[in-house]
Amino acid sequence: MSALRALLFDLDGTLVQTRNSSWQVFQETNSKFGLGVNSAAEFFGLFDENFFDALEALARERGVADPAPVLEHFQRKLRSDYLPEVVPGIGAIVRQLASLYTLMIVSSNTMESVRRVLENNGLADCFAHVFSGEVAPSKVHAIAHVLEDPTYACGRQCVPYYNEAATPHKHAVGEVMLITDTVGDVSEALKAGIRACGVAWGMHSADRLKAAGAEFVCVWPEELLVYLRDGRSSEEGACTAGTPAPRPGAAQAGAARRAAEAAAARRRARRAEPTARHGMPPAAAAAEPPAAAACGASCDCRGTTGGTTGEGVCCDPRAAMGAQQTEGTESDDRIESDDREGPDELLRTVLAVIGN
């Protein structure tokens, strides 16, 4: 399966908490046109398919000869009165995803409502395009636009301007996913040929979303990040989410990091040289008795019992002390020189890697 490149987000119930807000807005339309929707549960049932298609069918069923004024009234109320809260934590998730994928909004809501919600929550610049109810009559039509036009591959990374380094790319159906809270949206995504992922905090339950064909249903917003990052094999009953194309400069950054680690290792090795000069590895030097370590190469360092080096005190403590001070000064000078040269060497290495 192709790696994901574009994520299409439904707005209501997916990014914002819509149950109470949308029901409150709808009640005036419901009363004005005698639609007979007596409970929030009945209203939520309209989302089993495309909402405005369902609302139009309901109006005709209730004897409204021309459903257009019904739809217009409800949209007008959405533009003026719809002020839902965003789903807790979803803003941070969107910002992270915007650095990896091209994000778009596909919603039956009005453009004005979408803009107000996104701007109020600092998310407007994370989305490259918005297909509202006025722009596309259904999600199937909106998805078709995304699939047909290669320029929709150009995204935003939560800044006002578009990613100018992006090249046009005609999306394959496996490279696009709709993220939504309703079974109607899942059906439209599958009808358009793309992938669908559900969220369990909106209109419909996880079981219903799975039954409608969602490849995965997130219980928490953070789970979406994990699912898209790790993926699932199709043999395990879910999709392979795929790894997004690496961001520009990722290869150079990795090489620079490896060069920095190598330079640090060389500096550590040079610091260990003063100990190694005495014919013993650093570990052995650490275990050497204090008197033997103090003697260094200044004398025979035989112990009072005539033993070998390190068994007793130094044969000439004054000479040993002088040797220790001399060698310590040389070692400090060398380490200080290494510390000065290290950053310069690292900078030259990193610049060479990036230049390549």
The domain that holds 175 is classified in CATH as 3.40.50.1000
Considering the domain architecture, whether residues 215 and 292 belong to the same structural domain is answered as: no
Give CA separation, 128 vs 24, 112, 157, 170, 187, in Å.
30, 16, 9, 16, 24
Query: Same domain for 319 and 268?
Result: yes
pLDDT for position 299:
42
Same domain, 142 and 14: yes
Q: Do 162 and 13 have their domain in common?
A: yes
In this prediction, residue 92 carries a pLDDT of 96
What lies within 8 Å, CB to CB, of 191 at 6+ separation is 140
Residue 118 lies in a domain: yes
pLDDT at 320: 43
Q: Residue 310's domain spans which residues?
A: 250-355
Considering the domain architecture, whether residues 228 and 254 belong to the same structural domain is answered as: no
Total count of domains within the chain:
2
Cα separation of 71 and 334, whole Å? 81
**Using CA atoms, how far apart are residues 297 and 36, in angstroms rounded to an integer?**
102
CA angle 55, 19, 204 (to 5 degrees): 80
Q: Are residues 278 and 150 in the same domain?
A: no
Residues 122 and 198 in one domain: yes
Do 98 and 224 share a structural domain? Answer: yes
Q: Are residues 107 and 11 part of one domain?
A: yes
How far from chain centre, in Å, is Cα 5?
13
CB within 8 Å of 273: residues ≥ 6 apart:
334
Which residues 6+ apart lie within 8 Å of 344 measured at CB? none
pLDDT tens sequence for the chain (356 residues)? 579 999 999 999 999 998 888 899 999 999 999 999 999 889 988 888 788 889 999 999 999 999 999 999 998 998 888 889 999 999 999 999 999 999 999 998 999 999 999 999 999 999 999 999 889 989 999 999 999 999 999 999 999 999 988 899 999 999 999 999 999 999 999 999 999 999 999 999 999 999 999 999 999 999 999 999 876 433 333 333 333 444 444 455 455 556 656 666 666 666 655 544 445 454 444 444 444 433 443 344 434 444 443 444 444 444 444 444 444 545 445 444 444 445 555 555 545 544 55
Long-range contacts of 115-123 (CB under 8 A, 24+ apart): 116/83, 117/11, 117/15, 117/16, 117/84, 117/86, 121/86, 121/91, 122/91, 123/15, 123/86, 123/91, 123/94, 123/95, 123/158
Q: What Rg value do the Cα atoms of the chain yield, rounded?
A: 34
